[in-house]
């Protein structure tokens, strides 16, 4: 039996799910028995802070945000991150690489161009949502 892939989904994609009100890609990952979504408190806080901005809240309501936070808390494995990576030019995303290391992530799914250009970091494959879904034949 193969091990479950450990997956981080970047904030930009969680926001995209909310704005588009299209959770089909997320549902595919959550319902796929061979993936574990990993999260950190910092990732959750960033997601809540960014998604609570008025310019984004006009696309979805507080209920939608609360529902997705409940889903995260139900399905994700929370990691206590202790690593302090300093790698990216956009250092606000370094916490994702720290989570990848401490959470032993196999994949970091993102739409962030700088992260995607890294390709692989310490064994974690940095990949777009489309590439990830195609790799596991979800699409």
Burial of 113 (0-12, 13-18, 19+ CB in 10 A): exposed
> Residue 107: which of 137, 133, 127, 77 has the closest Cα?
127
3-state secondary structure of 128: coil
- pLDDT for 90 beyond 80: no
Taking residues 111-121, what's their average pLDDT? 92
The dihedrals phi and psi of 136, each to the nearest 5 degrees, come to: -100, 10
Using an 8 Å Cβ cutoff, are 110 and 7 in contact?
no
Name the residue range of residue 16's domain: 5-135
CATH number at residue 85: 3.40.50.1010
> H or E stretch including 109?
strand 107-109
- pLDDT for 32 beyond 80: no
Q: What angle do CA 17, 97, 35 make, to 5 degrees?
A: 55
Taking residues 37-45, what's their average pLDDT? 96
46: left (phi over 0), alpha (psi -120 to 50) or beta: alpha
Taking residues 119-131, what's their average pLDDT? 95
Which has more pLDDT, 66 or 26? 66
How many structural domains is the chain composed of? 1
């Amino acid at each position: 039996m193969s091990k479950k892939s450990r997956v981080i989904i970047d904030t930009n994609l969680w926001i995209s799910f909310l704005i588009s009100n299209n959770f089909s890609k997320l549902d595919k990952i959550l319902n796929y028995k061979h993936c574990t979504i990993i999260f950190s408190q910092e990732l959750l806080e960033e997601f809540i802070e960014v998604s609570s901005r008025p310019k984004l809240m006009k696309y979805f309501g507080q209920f939608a945000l609360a529902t997705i936070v409940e889903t995260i808390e139900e399905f994700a494995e929370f990691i206590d991150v202790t690593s302090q990576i300093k790698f990216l030019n956009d250092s606000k995303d370094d916490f994702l690489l720290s989570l990848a290391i401490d959470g032993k992530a196999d994949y970091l799914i993102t739409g962030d161009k700088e992260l995607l250009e890294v390709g692989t970091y310490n064994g974690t494959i940095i990949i777009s949502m489309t590439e990830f879904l195609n790799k596991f034949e979800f699409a």
